[in-house]
Amino acid sequence: MEWTILGAGALGCVMTGLLRQQGESVALMLSERHRGHFHPHLEFIDITGQRQLFHSRPIFAEHANTVQCLLVFTKAYHVIDALKELTLLPSATPIILLHNGMGVAEQVLALFPNNPILAGISSHGAMKERDWQVRHTGKGDTWLGPLNEAAKAYQHLVPPLAAAWGHCEWSNEIILQQQQKLAINAVINPLTACHNITNGQLLESRFTEVLAQLSEEVHGVISRLQGNKAETLSEFRRRLHKVIELTACNYSSMHQDIAQGRSSENDYISGYILQHAHQHPVPVCQQLYQEIKKREQVIER
Ligand code: KPL
C-alpha cells in the first residue's frame, strides 16, 4: 500500500518522514506551484536531532487516479481548493482530514459523497526549517475516526500508522475529540500568535487573567455543543496546562503561520467558537479573532 500525503507543510513532511523511516512507501501530492522546483529529497530531522534524506514520489493532480489512501495535511483554508483539483480520485479511496480546526469536513463530505471520509487529530510538533527540510519537535498522539458510513470499515489503517507515528488509535467519537483539540487551539494559538511567544510563555503571570477568561469562554461554547459528554471547566484547564507544558518550547502553528507571512486557521478555530457562541458573549475570543484577522490582512496586502 502506498500512502499519499497532500499538504507538504511542516506536519505533512514530518509525518511523511516518520512513515518513510518505517519503510512505508509514500507519494507526495504537490500543488502546481511546486511543479518547477520540487526537491527530490526531503530532509527529515528526527526528535533526537538526527538528519535523514528521504525520497518520496512526487505526484500531481493528474495522478489522482493512482491514489490508494489520501492523508490530507493541507491547512484548513486550502483543503477544499486542493481537493477540488482531484477529480480523478477513485471513489473507493479513503480521504483522511488532519487539519486543525473545524468547519471543512461538511464540504468534503458533499464534494466526495461516495468516498470513505475520516477525520484525524494529531498532537505532533513540527517545524519547517526551510523548503524540504523539517524538524520533528515533539512526539504526539494521533486519533482517526469515521465521518461517514463508508469510513467505518477503515480501522485497518491504524496499525501501520501507529507503527510509524508512535501512537495512533481509532475513535468512534472523533468529532468530540476534534472539538476538544479545537478548544485547546482556540486558547493557545491566537494568544501565542498575537503576543509573539512560545506556548510555554503563556504560563507567565502576565497571562494568568487572560488565560482564565479565554478558557472559560471557549469551554462554555464547546461544552454546550457536547452536552453531557463535555468535560468540566477544571478538567479542561488541567488539560490545557498539560498541553502548554508538553509543548512549552514550541511555537504554535498559528504563530508560525503569522510569523512566516501566511494565512492562518483563525476562521476554523476562533471563528468556529464565535459561530457557535450564539447569544453567549465571548469578548476575549472575539478580540483575538479580530487581531489575527488584521495581521492576516497586512500579510495579504
Ligand atoms: O496544535 C497545536 C498547534 O500549534 O496548532 C498546539 C497543541 C497548540 C501545539 O503547538
Residue 250 Cα: closest atom of ligand 1? 10
Question: Separation of 201 CA from ligand 1 center, angstroms?
Answer: 14
- Residues 140, 155: Cα–Cα separation, whole Å: 20
pLDDT score for 36: 73
Nearest CA to ligand 1 atom 5: 253
In this model, does residue 40 exceed pLDDT 70?
A: no
pLDDT mean over 33-40: 73
In the three-class reduction of DSSP (H, G, I as helix; E, B as strand; rest coil), residue 144 is classed as strand
| Mutation to probe ligand 1, out of 137, 180, 199 (largest number of atoms < 8 A from CB) | 199
Same domain, 135 and 118: yes
Task: Return the percentage of the chain with pLDDT > 90, whole number.
Answer: 89
**Contacting residues for 270 by C-beta, under 8 A, at least 6 apart:** 186, 190, 285, 288, 289, 292
**b/e map of 210-236 (b: 16 or more CB within 10 Å)?**
bbeebbebbbbbbbebbeeebbeeeeb
Q: Can you spell out the DSSP letters for 208-264?
A: HHHHHHHHHHHHHHHHHHHGGGPPPHHHHHHHHHHHHHHTTTPPPHHHHHHHTT---
Q: β-strand 41-45 against 133-138: which pairing, if any?
A: parallel
Pocket residue to mutate for ligand 1, from 15, 197, 252, most atoms within 8 A of Cβ? 252
CB 21 within 8 A of CB 164: yes
Query: Which pLDDT tens digit goes with each residue over 188-228?
Result: 999 999 999 999 999 999 999 999 999 999 999 999 999 99
How many angstroms does the Cα of residue 122 sit away from the middle of ligand 1? 9
Average pLDDT, the chain: 95
Tell me which residue has its CA closest to atom 4 in ligand 1. Answer: 252
- Domain residue limits at 129: 2-172
pLDDT of residue 41: 84
The residue from 112, 139, 172 where one domain ends is: 172
**pLDDT tier, 301 (very low <50, low <70, confident <90, very high otherwise):** low
User: How far is residue 96's CA from residue 98's CA, in Å, rounded to a whole number?
Assistant: 6
Residues flanking ligand 1, CB < 6 Å: 100, 123, 184-185, 188-189, 199, 243, 247, 250, 252-253
Q: Are residues 157 and 243 in the same domain?
A: no
Task: Tell how far CA 123 is from the center of its chain.
Answer: 8
Amino acid at 7: G
Domain count, the chain: 2
Please report, for the domain that includes residue 280, its CATH number. Answer: 1.10.1040.10
Query: Is a pLDDT exceeding 90 seen at residue 34?
Result: no
Distance 136 CA to ligand 1 centre (A): 13
Confidence of residue 74 (pLDDT cuts 50, 70, 90): very high
Q: Which residues contact 59 (CB under 8 A, 6 or more apart)?
A: 4, 27, 28, 29, 30, 66, 67
Q: Which of 172, 203, 233 is the last residue of a domain?
A: 172
For residue 225, being part of any structural domain is answered with yes
pLDDT in tens, 165-178: 999 999 999 999 99
110 pLDDT more than 90: yes
Per-residue model confidence as pLDDT tens digits over 94-106: 999 999 999 999 9
- DSSP secondary-structure letter at 46? -
Given a cut of 90, whether residue 131 has pLDDT beyond it is: no
Q: Higher model confidence: residue 299 or residue 177?
A: 177
Q: Looking at the structure, tell me whether residues 155 and 17 fall in a common domain.
A: yes
C-alpha cell at 62: 493528474
Residue 299 in domain: no
Residues 36 and 125 both lie in one domain: yes
pLDDT of residue 151: 98
144 alpha carbon – ligand 1 mean position (Å):
18
pLDDT of residue 154: 98
User: Cα of 83 to ligand 1 centre, how many Å?
Assistant: 24
Ligand 1, atom nearest to 256 Cα: 4
Domain boundary among 149, 172, 195: 172
Same domain, yes or no: 112 and 48: yes
Instruction: For residue 56, name the pLDDT band (cuts at 50, 70, 90).
Output: confident
What is the pTM for the complete model shown?
Answer: 0.93
| Cα–Cα distance measured from residue 191 to residue 127, given in angstroms and rounded to the nearest whole number | 19
CATH number at residue 18: 3.40.50.720
pLDDT at residue number 57: 83
Average pLDDT over residues 265-279: 97
Same domain (yes/no): 14, 33: yes
